[in-house]
Amino acid sequence: MNVTGHTSRTASIRDVAAAADVSYQTVSRVINGHPSVKQSTRERVLAAIDELGFRRSATAHALASGRSRSVTVLTANITHHGYASILQGIEEAARSASYTMGIGVLESADETAVRAEVQRAADAGGGLIVIAYDPAGVRALQEVPAGIPVVGVVETPARTPDGDRPWVWTDDRVAAYEATRHLLSLGHETVHYVAIPSSTRRTAARTAGWRAALREAGATEPRPVQGTWGPAGGHAAGRKLAADPSVTAILCGNDDLALGVIRALHEAGRAIPGEVSVVGFDDAPHAAYLTPSLTSVRQDFTGLGRAAFGLLHGVVEQSAPVAPHPVSVPELLVRESSGPPRPNA
């Protein structure tokens, strides 16, 4: 508190402008060393800065440079492992670059609701990163106004996107292919699949990779069982699969689904991996500590988030070309939940 009883506050750029009798744009030019300011005006502004104890803020820098050092991430989910890890990677990279980060939650895929959230994010200034793993995210990526710097974190595209689309992804198709081949190599005649929701109505990358491995091996293609994002969806799918004695291998679209599938198999008295092998996806923190420990595909979501911010930073600062690109190929980690089928199983 000061002697008048009022809470003191830090001087703003407008306080400096008023004290020096200039516009705040002139103050911005002075603190950023712009050569177009007269020497007498510069000296007057510098004197006001000293007198008021003004310190340049990120806002002042944005006024001078025309760029806001901030990023807003639009996402439909902040709790699931993949989403949360991407957010972590973006935040780490943004903080290292002295950017602030905000989050806009897409509460539904409704066109009006998505457009309003995108507009709020655009009005905040700075760049946008959209996690487009679901219909709401895909729609948000499509709704971003022209001229707003934006990067999309997307499912593996069916083909390489046009060069003007700054997207990043991990190669889920190859990862699902390798996970399915692993199970087939153990001697399973086929592999059943519990799918996560896709961002579009076309075949998701993980489903495509699973199917490609089965076709290459000449194995029967079971109909995919549609799951949700969480363990409850996996449990419901697992109960159906557990009731079929011909099921000996199950690939799950994420580790939370695998958790539910494992519970359903346990309730049905089917041993893992003695009777049924289970493979997850994403290598969530709990995967290695289940009983049995879960064979899973490790995804570098945190690295994906860092890469998304790196691409956005290049766009905003005009220091790197815009180019869509995969960030990494996920790695299969073989643990206790997968093994050869029992003879005559």
Predicted model pTM: 0.76
Distance CA 226, CA 230 (A): 12
- 331-333 and 296-298 as β-strands: parallel, antiparallel, unpaired? antiparallel
Q: Report whether 248 contacts 345 (CB < 8 A).
A: yes
**What does the pLDDT profile of the chain (345 residues) look like in tens digits?**
333 333 345 677 778 889 999 987 787 677 656 667 888 898 898 888 888 877 654 444 444 455 568 999 999 999 999 999 999 999 999 999 989 999 999 999 999 999 999 999 988 888 999 999 999 999 999 999 888 899 999 988 878 777 778 899 999 899 999 999 999 999 999 999 999 887 654 558 899 999 999 999 999 999 999 988 899 999 999 999 999 999 999 999 999 999 999 999 999 999 999 999 999 999 999 999 999 999 999 999 999 999 999 999 888 876 566 677 788 778 999 999 999 998 865
Q: Report whether 164 contacts 174 (CB < 8 A).
A: no
* Angle 310-306-329 from CA coordinates, rounded to 5°: 110
Q: Report whether 93 contacts 69 (CB < 8 A).
A: no
